[in-house]
């Protein structure tokens, strides 16, 4: 299985090559992989149905206890099956939708990579592995939303989706680290066994909140819901796949997976119920304000995700059963509806439902599929959506906390969703025909096969929900609910949920009837809507850019003296703090200085002072040279021949470089004011003084064991060398040296690039640039 | 900085270059036991080439070198990174030094020496890259 997922990534990278071989048939060829995985999963069904858990282990990073272990139980089996089946259908569909598109290979690369990331996410047992796949889905989603990268709106939406989900991902990572610490394991299979310990742990609240932020951003819960409708800038197959059936359900999956470990507490129940109910109502309400069919569907997805969160929050066996049914029902009908929306867009050239009408004559089969799927969305019998909605209403009626509020929100969402379903299915296909940008005709069968299959499944499972009993039972086992005695039925007799359904049907149809007028009325709410969470996101982004600009202007101002002053002051601050506050500063040295040492030191000082006050550049350079050679002399006096040689050679090369540079510099001029020079002097004195104090303090007592003793003792036995300096450089501290090598190489590249571009600029300014062919 | 060497400079550069290069190799190879090593040896070699550059100009130098200094940098980095890998081959942690004795000449060969040669090449390459780039822009200026 791991090989299948990794192989999928490999296949994704080969998509352009496959496209050269198979041309327009590539998507169908590539759909074979998810189809094969789906068949394999179906083959495992007897094991899963028996309630067993498959653990497929493969050590990935053994040193860090990270394994690529796949955990297949009812829950991940259901998700994996949805991902692979809908994935295969979407691939076939996209081959038609993007037929002849220049960037079809790129699309196939990213969507296959996404598919495998999503599969890895729901199958992963290790938290780190799960997180890696989680982030991979965010990145691939970013690439897919921004697929039409020439459109600024698509780029903006892609970035927004990325920032929101990756921001949540950071919180999730923190939550995972705490979770692993509290549960003393990185394995989900083990963590779900330790619910008692986790719920009683001191870190439970921060841990849960972090995980929830991660899940809520990914699954577009209020107040993070705004990125999902904007993500509709993606091509429609992407919307059908990522933004309704799979990726947005990743957060839901995570919550369901962690339900046995973290669920059931007051915090969990109240947060999830309220956020879920709010999301439901917000999504449904925002949906009816729009006329773009994809936006309508996107908001209704937000509503469905809220429902799923709410049901997980309630956590009763009844609610969890409703959760599973609703999850399956939503994936089936929403996938189908999005693909229908894509067909409409493809055939009519518009996405505005008010611009379409009477299309059932031109495309009867599409109309039939749309109607079946929309009936399921509306929650009408005899479709699976009805079973899901009834179960949802029944569990809300049994809610323990905040029942009236949650019921009100859920009921509002239910009737508004019904109106959305009516708008999506009735508006385009019935009524008087309208002129559309392109003349509509029936969709090709490759595009219709996917939605038709999904809609048919909605119908079959709706008529005979008993077929799903074993699947629901197996999934419930994964969520940690008692699985015995699950019986789904279409007809529960006359009861309160049914009465509520009838009432919502009436209200929903009324809403549909007066939709145009209602929309006009709601238009006056626009100024309030403009201050929603999205405005907060915009403000946050603008603020970040402003802070970045401010600190860049402050720190990266292009004056080397400012960089130097900043670096030195930070050094003084940190070293000074450590020297005077973290340790007790002692000064206890008896200096016995020989005359020749004093002379060398005096030379150094004289060189430094002279370099500062000289009025000629050549003299300043010579003064600096005096200082450098005095330092080399010091190394010789204190028997460090390697350092002395290095210092001498560096001085020599400095002279060479200066000779090369000297004639190219402008005339020596004083650019700084006396005040600035005074400031620079203060910085220099401060730094020099502090370092001197540090050295004296180090000498005045053996505070720490000397590291050089180890080097001296082990240079020959371990490093096989007598030259300790060299053994340190190339063996003991070789990693540091390797880093230095890269620094040196980068510096050389920088010098080369700067001078070369400088020269080219000069050359461009001249009429006939003499080209330099070789660059030795 | 065109080909403007004096007779004395030209003759000295021609004679000194092989000596300096030999000395730098000597420093490189003995560095593990006596003062020396890749860094110092690299500086010596770079200084030698710089002298040659001053005497004869950039084109003769690049003709003599036959490879671009930037390729030297790249080769040095490759050797540096490559010397970390043999440890994996024998199942020891990344970067553990490996020692072999070449039988007949009784020479201590090691990944450490390969690494030091990498340092040597990076130093020579970096310094020469900077110097030749400076000379090149000088020539642009001169032609102005």
Best mutation target among B47, B80, B87, B114 (most A Cβ atoms within 10 Å) is B80
Residue A701 — pLDDT band, cuts 50, 70, 90? low
Per-residue pLDDT at A38: 92
- B93's CB contacts (< 8 A; 6+ apart) are B87
Residues A151-184: pLDDT tens digits?
888 898 999 999 999 999 999 999 999 999 888 8
Side-chain-side CA neighbours of residue A732 (13 Å): 22
In 3D, which of A164, A71, A57, A167 has the Cα closest to residue A119?
A71
Which residues of chain A neighbour B29 with C-beta distances below 8 Å? none
CB contact under 8 A, A722 and B65: no
pLDDT at A776: 35
The residue to which tokens 């506050």 are assigned: A581
Residue A62 burial (C-beta neighbours within 10 Å; 0-12, 13-18, 19+)? exposed
A407 neighbors A399 (Cβ within 8 angstroms): yes
Alpha carbon distance A279, A323 (integer Å): 16
Read off the pLDDT band of A772 (50, 70, 90): very low
Indicate the pLDDT class of residue A769, thresholds 50, 70 and 90: very low
The pLDDT of residue B137: 61
Q: What is the torsional sign of CA B31, B32, B38, B40?
A: negative
* Predicted ipTM of the assembly: 0.89
User: Any idea which residue has 């020692």 for tokens?
Assistant: B99
- A478 near A75, Cβ under 8 Å? yes
| B70–A762 CB contact, under 8 Å | no
Contact A719 B97 (CB under 8 A): yes
Per residue in A205-242, pLDDT tens?
999 999 999 999 999 888 888 888 888 888 888 888 88
Considering only residues A61 and A363, tell me which one the structure prediction assigns the higher pLDDT.
A363
pLDDT at A213: 94
Q: Which two tokens stand for residue B59?
A: 């084109």
Q: Which two tokens stand for residue B42?
A: 């690299």
- Residue (of A121, A139, A119, A138) closest to A130 by Cα position: A121
Q: 3-state class of A196 per DSSP?
A: helix
Nearest to A360 by CA among A350, A352, A370, A346: A370
Q: Is residue B104 less than 8 Å (CB to CB) from chain A?
A: no
pLDDT of B110 reads 84
What confidence tier does B17 reach under pLDDT thresholds 50, 70, 90?
very high
Looking at residue A285, what is its pLDDT? Answer: 86
Distances (CA, A) of A719 to A636, A706, A735: 25, 19, 15
Beta-carbon separation of B108 and A720 below 8 A: yes
Q: How high is the pLDDT of residue B94?
A: 79
Q: Which residue of B has its CA nearest to A773?
A: B59
pLDDT tens-place string over residues B45-73: 999 999 888 888 888 888 888 888 989 99
* pLDDT, mean over chain A: 85
CB-CB under 8 Å, B34 with A723: yes
Give A564 to chain B, closest Cα distance, Å.
Answer: 23
What are the start-end ranges of the H helices in A464-514? 469-479, 496-513
Tell me, yes or no, if B132 comes closer than 8 A to chain A by beta carbon: yes
Q: Answer with the residue of higher pLDDT: B134 or A272.
A: A272
> Which residue, A348, A244, A346, is CA-closest to A295?
A244
Query: Would you say residue A719 has pLDDT above 80?
Result: no
Helix ranges, B5-68 (H): 7-30, 38-56, 58-65
Compute φ and ψ for A430, nearest 5 degrees. Answer: -110, 180
* Chain B residues inside the 8 Å CB shell of A650: 43
b/e per residue, A194-208, with b = 16+ CB within 10 A? Answer: bbeebbebeebeebb
Residue A198 has pLDDT above 60, yes or no: yes
User: Measuring CA to CA, how many Å separate A442 from each of A350, A365, A445, A472?
Assistant: 16, 7, 9, 37
Q: What is the pLDDT of residue B71?
A: 92
Query: Which residues in chain A have Cβ-Cβ distances shorter than 8 Å to B62?
Result: 774, 776
d(CA A198, CA A314): 19
Most confidently modeled range among A5-14, A310-319, A657-666: A310-319
Window B:57-86, CB contacts with A under 8 Å? 58, 61-63, 65, 67-70, 73-74, 76-77, 80-81, 84
Q: Determine whether the interchain pair B34/A664 forms a contact, defined as Cβ–Cβ distance below 8 Å.
A: no
pLDDT digits (tens, 9 = 90+) for B92-113: 777 788 887 777 776 777 888 8
* Structural contact between residues A147 and A154, judged by C-beta atoms closer than 8 angstroms: yes
Choose among A721, A735, A763: nearest Cβ to B140. Answer: A763
CA distances, B131 to each of A627, B98, B143 (Å)? 23, 36, 19
Classified as helix, coil or strand, A158 is helix
Q: How many helices (H) and strands (E) does chain A have?
A: 34, 4
Which helix (H) or strand (E) is A394 found in, with range? helix A384-397
Tell me what pLDDT residue B4 has: 56
Nearest residue of A to residue B36, measured between CA atoms: A642
pLDDT tens for A488-527 read: 777 777 778 888 888 888 888 888 888 888 888 877 777 7
Contacts of A735 in chain B (CB under 8 A): 95
Contact status, residue A237 vs residue A229, Cβ threshold 8 Å: no
More confident residue, A473 or A587: A473
Mean pLDDT of A282-308: 88
pLDDT of residue B138: 56
Cβ contacts (< 8 Å) between A738 and chain B: which residues? 80-81, 84, 115
Structure confidence by residue, pLDDT tens digits, A23-55? 778 888 888 899 999 999 999 888 888 878 888
In this structure, what token pair is assigned to residue B101? Answer: 């004795």
Quote the minimal CA–CA distance from B20 to chain A in Å: 13
* pLDDT at A703 (0 to 100): 61
- What is the C-alpha to C-alpha distance for residues A722 and A170, in angstroms, rounded to an integer? 49
Residue B125 forms contact with A (CB below 8 Å): yes
Label residue A347 by pLDDT band (50, 70, 90).
confident
pLDDT digits (tens, 9 = 90+) for A429-488: 887 787 777 777 787 888 888 889 999 998 888 888 888 888 888 888 888 777 666 777
Q: Which of B67, B110, B126 sits opposite A747 (nearest CB)?
A: B126
Residue of chain A whose alpha carbon sits nearest to that of B44: A649
Taking an 8 Å cut-off on Cβ atoms, the answer to whether A656 and B47 are in contact is: yes
pTM: 0.73
Chain A environment of B84 (Cβ under 8 Å): 734, 738
β-strand partners of B107? B102
Residue A659 C-alpha, separation from nearest chain B C-alpha, in angstroms:
10
Q: Does position A644 have pLDDT exceeding 80, yes or no?
A: yes
The DSSP secondary-structure symbol of A126 reads B
Tell how many helices (H) and how many strands (E) occur in chain B. 6, 2
């Amino acid at each position: 299985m791991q090989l299948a997922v990794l192989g999928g990534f490999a296949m994704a990278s080969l998509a352009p090559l496959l496209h050269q071989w198979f041309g327009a048939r590539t998507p169908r060829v590539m759909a074979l992989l998810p189809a094969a995985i789906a068949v394999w999963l179906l083959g495992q069904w007897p094991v899963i149905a028996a309630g067993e858990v498959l653990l497929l282990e493969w050590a990935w990073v053994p040193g860090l206890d990270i394994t690529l272990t796949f955990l297949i139980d009812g829950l991940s089996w259901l998700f994996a099956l949805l991902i692979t089946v809908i994935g295969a259908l979407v691939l076939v569909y996209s081959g038609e939708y993007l037929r002849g598109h220049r960037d079809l290979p790129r699309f196939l690369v990213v969507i296959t990579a996404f598919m495998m990331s999503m599969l890895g996410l729901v199958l992963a047992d290790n938290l780190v592995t799960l997180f890696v796949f989680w982030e991979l889905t965010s990145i691939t989603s970013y690439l897919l939303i921004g697929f039409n990268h020439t459109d600024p709106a698509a780029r903006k939406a892609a970035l927004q989706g990325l920032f929101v989900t990756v921001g949540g991902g950071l919180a999730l990572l923190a939550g995972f680290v705490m979770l692993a610490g509290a549960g003393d394991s990185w394995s989900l299979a083990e963590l779900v066994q330790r619910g008692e310990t986790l719920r009683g742990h001191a870190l439970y609240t921060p841990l849960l909140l972090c995980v929830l932020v991660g899940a809520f951003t990914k699954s577009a819960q209020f107040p993070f819901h705004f990125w999902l409708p904007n993500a509709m800038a993606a091509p429609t197959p992407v919307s059908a796949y990522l933004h309704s059936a799979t990726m947005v359900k990743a957060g839901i999956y995570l919550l369901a997976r962690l339900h046995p470990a973290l669920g059931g507490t007051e915090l969990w129940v109240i947060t999830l119920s309220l956020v879920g109910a709010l999301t439901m109502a917000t999504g449904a309400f925002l949906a009816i304000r729009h006329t773009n069919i994809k936006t309508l569907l996107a908001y209704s997805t937000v509503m469905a995700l809220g429902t799923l969160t709410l049901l997980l929050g309630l956590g009763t066996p009844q609610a969890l059963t409703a959760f599973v049914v609703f999850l399956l029902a939503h994936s089936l009908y929403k996938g189908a509806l999005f693909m229908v929306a894509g067909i409409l867009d493809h055939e009519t050239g518009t996405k505005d439902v008010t611009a379409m009408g009477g299309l059932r004559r031109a495309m009867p089969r599409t109309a039939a599929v749309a109607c079946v799927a929309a009936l399921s969305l509306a929650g009408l019998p005899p479709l699976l959506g009805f079973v899901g909605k009834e179960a949802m209403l029944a569990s809300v009626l049994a809610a323990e906390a905040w029942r009236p509020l949650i019921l009100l929100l859920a009921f509002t969402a239910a009737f508004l969703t019904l109106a959305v379903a009516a708008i999506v299915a009735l508006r385009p296909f019935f009524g008087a025909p309208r002129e559309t940008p392109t003349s509509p005709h029936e969709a090709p069968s490759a595009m219709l096969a996917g939605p038709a299959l999904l809609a048919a499944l909605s119908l079959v499972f709706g008529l005979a929900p008993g077929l799903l009993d074993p699947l629901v039972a197996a999934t419930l086992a994964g969520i940690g609910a008692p699985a015995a005695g699950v019986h789904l039925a279409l007809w529960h007799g006359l009861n309160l949920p049914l009465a509520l359904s009838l009432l919502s049907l009436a209200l929903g149809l009324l809403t549909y009837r007066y939709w145009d007028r209602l929309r006009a009325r709601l238009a006056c709410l626009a100024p309030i809507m403009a201050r929603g969470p999205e405005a907060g996101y915009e403000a946050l982004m603008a603020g970040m850019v402003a802070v970045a600009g401010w600190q860049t202007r402050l720190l990266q101002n292009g004056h080397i003296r400012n960089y130097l002053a900043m670096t030195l002051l930070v050094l003084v601050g940190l070293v000074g703090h450590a020297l005077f506050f973290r340790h007790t500063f002692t000064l206890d040295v008896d200096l016995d200085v020989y005359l020749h040492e004093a002379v060398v030191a005096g030379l150094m000082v004289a060189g430094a002072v002279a370099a500062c006050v000289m009025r000629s550049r050549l003299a300043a350079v010579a003064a600096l040279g005096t200082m450098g050679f005095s330092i080399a002399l010091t190394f010789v006096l204190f028997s460090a021949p390697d350092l002395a040689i290095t210092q001498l050679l560096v001085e020599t090369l400095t002279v060479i470089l200066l000779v090369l540079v000297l004639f190219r510099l402008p005339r020596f001029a004083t650019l700084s004011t006396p005040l600035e020079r005074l400031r620079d002097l203060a910085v220099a004195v401060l730094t020099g003084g502090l370092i001197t104090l540090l050295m004296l303090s180090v000498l005045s007592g053996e505070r720490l064991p000397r590291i050089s003793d180890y080097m001296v003792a082990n240079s020959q036995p371990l490093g096989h060398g007598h030259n300790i300096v060299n053994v340190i450089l190339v063996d003991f501290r070789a990693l540091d040296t390797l880093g230095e090598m890269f620094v040196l190489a980068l510096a050389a590249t920088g010098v080369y690039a700067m001078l070369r571009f400088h020269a080219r600029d000069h050359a461009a300014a001249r009429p006939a640039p003499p080209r330099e062919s070789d660059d030795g | 900085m065109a080909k403007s060497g004096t007779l004395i400079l030209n003759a000295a550069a021609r004679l000194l270059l092989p000596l300096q290069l030999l000395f730098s190799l000597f420093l490189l190879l003995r560095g593990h036991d006596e003062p020396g090593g890749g860094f110092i040896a690299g500086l010596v070699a770079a200084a030698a080439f710089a002298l040659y550059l001053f005497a004869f100009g950039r084109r003769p130098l690049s003709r003599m070198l036959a490879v671009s200094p930037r390729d030297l940098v790249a080769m040095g980095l490759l050797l540096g990174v490559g010397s970390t890998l043999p440890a994996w081959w024998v199942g020891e942690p990344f970067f553990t030094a490996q020692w072999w004795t070449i039988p007949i000449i009784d020479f201590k060969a090691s990944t450490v020496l390969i690494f030091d040669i990498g340092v040597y090449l990076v130093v020579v390459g970096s310094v020469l890259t900077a110097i030749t780039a400076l000379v090149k822009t000088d020539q642009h200026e001169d032609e102005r």
